[in-house]
Amino acid sequence: MNLIIEGAVSTKENKQTILNLLKHAATWLKDDGVDHWRVWLNPTEERLNWMEEGLNKGQFYLLYTTEKDLIGMYRLMYEDELYWGKTEDKAAYVHSLVVKNNFKGQGVGTKVLERIEKDLINKNFDFFRLDCNGENTKLCAYYEKAGFKKVGEIKMPHSLNFLYEKKLN
């Protein structure tokens, strides 16, 4: 399957699509026994503001097949003080990587992470970082298999998150 990663997503055109994908992922995770995305089932104003901020900064990307079927999305940030604190590192952070159920198991997430990594290397970034709920052992193992190393933990109001990074240069 060939992936198309659409450029930065505009607020008015894709806001509902982003929200629907987040709700889709929250439902799937809940059904799989991981409940930390439950906030997206009925998002608070704080969560909606987080999403709106990312949309306004052009940080959300939509994923499509070459046939224009929507596969999923992710948010790419170049600073993340909430999870990683203030840092001078040249790093990029992925949040909210979502792949729709009918595309799971086809290597989409791996292809997306590899494509982002390649782009970051070409832009001379030093680190590729992400986090996940420490109770989501499947996702933790997935990131570790993809070459990310656990470098810390952070207690958030909704979960204990593990911090992962991959050194690029």
Contact at 8 Å (CB) between 74 and 94? yes
User: Contact 4/36 with Cβ under 8 angstroms?
Assistant: no
Task: Extract the runs of DSSP E, i.e. beta strands, from 43-148.
Answer: 60-65, 70-77, 91-99, 127-133
Confidence of residue 129 (pLDDT cuts 50, 70, 90): very high
Please state whether beta strands 91-99 and 127-133 pair in parallel, antiparallel, or not at all (unpaired). Answer: parallel
Write out the residue range of the structural domain in which residue 115 sits.
3-167
- Percent of the chain at pLDDT > 90 equals 65
Mean of pLDDT over the chain = 90
Q: How many domains is the chain built from? A: 1
Residue 134 is part of a domain; what is its CATH number?
A: 3.40.630.30
Predicted local distance difference test score (pLDDT) of residue 50 = 92
pLDDT given for residue 10 in this prediction = 66
For the segment 123-144, the average pLDDT, to the nearest whole number, is 95
What lies within 8 Å, CB to CB, of 136 at 6+ separation is: 29, 34, 36
State the pLDDT at residue 158. 78
What's the predicted TM-score (pTM) here? Answer: 0.90
- Would you say residue 98 has pLDDT above 80? yes
Q: Please give the single-letter amino acid code of residue 15.
A: K
CA angle in degrees (0–180, nearest 5) for 80-8-61: 75
Burial of residue 67 (CB within 10 Å: 0-12, 13-18, 19+) is exposed
pLDDT tens across 83-97, in order?
999 999 999 999 999
Q: What per-residue confidence (pLDDT) applies to 35?
A: 78
Residue 93: C-alpha distances to residues 69, 106, 126, 142 (Å):
26, 23, 12, 17
